[in-house]
Structure 1
Amino acid sequence: MMTNLFSSFDPCTNFSLSLNWLSSTIIITMIPFLYWMTPSRLTMMWLMLLMKLHWEFKILITKNKFKGTTLIFTSLLIFILMNNFMGLFPYIFTASSHLNFALYLSIPLWLSFMIFGWTMNTIHMLAHLVPQGAPKILLPFLVIIESISNLIRPGTLAIRLTANMIAGHLLITLLSNSGPSLSMPYLTFLMSAQILLLILESAVAMIQSYVFSILVTLYSSEIN
């Protein structure tokens, strides 16, 4: 039995170093490499996935002059997706369930977009604070609301990813703790429920990485 329900999301360990953060680097060993002159089936599947993501993000980027920008968002999606999947394995710390991890991804990207937008497209950024066709009497309030909604974007991105990853893991942990006290018929039902929850968490891992990357792409397209 765990002394604290949230201890599985604690990055600290019994050692002097926070070794749980190494789970985010394990995915490096899972990247396929070209060992042969002819790419393997695994490599071809990987390339097909990257090309599919490239065309998906290219639709959202309005200006064609920013070529190669999709590589940033594709790499971001793959990185978050791998970290989400690593957390589904036993005894592996889910790095994406920690708020610091999500903030380290969202804040630098959002800050770079803001610096680029206000430096290169200042008039466009000022015009974006005022919705088209809004009454003049409401303009001061709309500017304040748009500014606040813009400032909280990195926080909402981080909280959305962290909360969705924690919720499913907490439910699986709660059901697992009740296993030793159950009889065989209830234990069979519990195992079936755990398998269904793992399938659901796999879908959540893919959806949340996709949502995070798509929202970052949409934020970047607003500064052009």
Structure 2
Amino acid sequence: MTNLFSSFDPSTSMKLPLNWLSTTIGVLILPLTFWLIPSRLMMLWNKIINILHKEFKTLIGPMSKGSTLIFISLFSLIIYNNFLGLFPYIFTSTSHLVLTLSLALPLWLAFLLFGWMNNTVHMLAHLVPQGTPGVLMPFMVCIETTSNLIRPGTLAVRLAANMIAGHLLLTLLGNIGPVISVHYTSILFLIQILLLTLEGAVTIIQSYVFAILSTLYSSEVTYV
């Protein structure tokens, strides 16, 4: 079990959390954005950013005023770290609640404080859905309050759990390779390729889900 979870250990042989440096490797890619003639990869990334900007702007509404850049940057950071974790012997930082909570908790707290300080009436009205019977109103307030309080936890756990589950499955199947016969090795290799493709899709989906839910939470407090 120690070897199984060693890929998720932030410490190294020197007992220092140097594996977190994998999150900063993306800084080395930044000079590519200053090329006079952009590459095809940069054109594709710019197109993705434009699509995300339009979608986030639609969700936030007319009060966006450039706040879509926050969620685009959030999406970029998460998808970069998710894809980086697919490479062998590279630390997956998004599989730890330390990073995911550090992303979700400040955003949620900022949205909550902004909403209660600027749109207090709207925040109070949001605790009781429209059309709720008077008898159920106290229960709905408790339920809505609880759902608002657990939002950063659900965001963080969802991202970390999905990254851990896929990586553990790949590790478990990879560990049985030396003990099976040669006839089943090709089948195992094919399964690993399919799982790696699925994990690649999960990295994109989870990055999008984290960013889109953060956008929806912000739209609730900025809507007037």
TM-score range (shorter-chain normalised) is over 0.9
The residue aligned with 2:96 is 98
Aligned partners of 2:121, 2:107: CA distance in 1, in Å?
21
In the alignment, the residues of structure 1 paired with residue 8 and residue 131 of structure 2 have an alpha-carbon distance, to the nearest angstrom, of 47
Structure 1 residues 42 and 8: alpha-carbon distance in aligned structure 2, compared to 1, 3 A threshold: closer
Q: Percent identity at matched positions?
A: 62
Contact in 2 for aligned 1:13/1:20 (Cα 8 Å): yes
Q: Which residue, out of 165, 171, 174, partners 2:172? A: 174
In the superposition, the TM-score normalised over structure 2's length comes to 0.94
- Post-superposition shift, 1:56? 1.6
TM-superposed deviation, 1:162: 0.6
1:33 aligned onto 2:33:
yes
* RMSD after superposition: 1.3
* Uncovered stretches (5+) of structure 2, i.e. residues with no partner: none
Gap runs ≥5 in structure 1:
none
How far off its partner does 1:215 sit?
0.4
State the 1:205 CA deviation.
Answer: 0.2
Deviates more, 1:141-150 or 1:9-18: 9-18
Question: What number of residue pairs does the alignment pair up?
Answer: 221
Query: Following the alignment from structure 2 to structure 1, what is the Cα–Cα distance between the partners of residues 39 and 186?
Result: 40
Deviation at 1:33, TM superposition (A): 2.0
TM-score, normalising length: structure 1: 0.94
Deviation larger for 53-62 or 165-174: 53-62
The separation in 2 between residues aligned to 1:3 and 1:71, in whole angstroms, is 40
CA–CA distance in structure 1, aligned partners of residues 41 and 199 of structure 2: 24
Partner of 2:44: 45
Alpha-carbon displacement from aligned partner over 1:140-183 (angstroms, at most 9, x marks no partner): 11111110000000000001001100111000000011111112
Equivalent residues in 2 for 1:146-157, closer than 5 Å: 146-157=144-155
Q: Which residue of 2 aligns with 1:5?
A: 4
Structure with more of its chain in helix, by fraction: 2
CA contact (8 A) 1:34 1:40 kept: no
The residue type equivalent to 2:19 in the other structure is: N
Q: CA separation in 1, counterparts of 2:221 and 2:63?
A: 14
